[in-house]
Amino acid sequence: MIKIEVQYFDGCPHAPAALALVKRFQQEHPETEAKYIKVGDNSQAAQIGFRGSPTILINDEDLFGAPVPDEPHLACRFYPQGLPDYEEFARMVLCI
């Protein structure tokens, strides 16, 4: 079974796209277990090892291999190439 976790905070401009990717994947792969974590403050960010919003974990591993920062806090996450489109995302998930 594939476990996907999306970590994000309200107001993140890229969170809706990340959530949509995971929700579509889950619809097409109903055996997938998806979890959505809205990070509310720096304490929670530190507790979960927040890498920035949005973060997508596949079976507890960052989709892009980003490590947990030394001091996790509420922050936006920068994706140099942007978030993948759905087809690329599905390939990445299924290859893990």
CATH of 3-95, one of 3.40.1000, 3.40.30, 3.40.50, 1.20.1530: 3.40.30
Show pLDDT as tens, one digit a residue, over the chain (96 residues): 999 999 999 999 999 999 999 999 999 999 999 999 999 999 999 999 999 999 999 999 999 999 999 999 999 998 888 999 999 999 999 987
Beta-carbon neighbour count of residue 86 at 10 Å?
A: 13
**Beta sheet of 61-62, edge-to-edge order:** 33-38, 3-8, 55-58, 61-62
Listed by start position, the domains of the chain span: 3-95
Distance between CA atoms of residues 56 and 61, nearest Å: 8
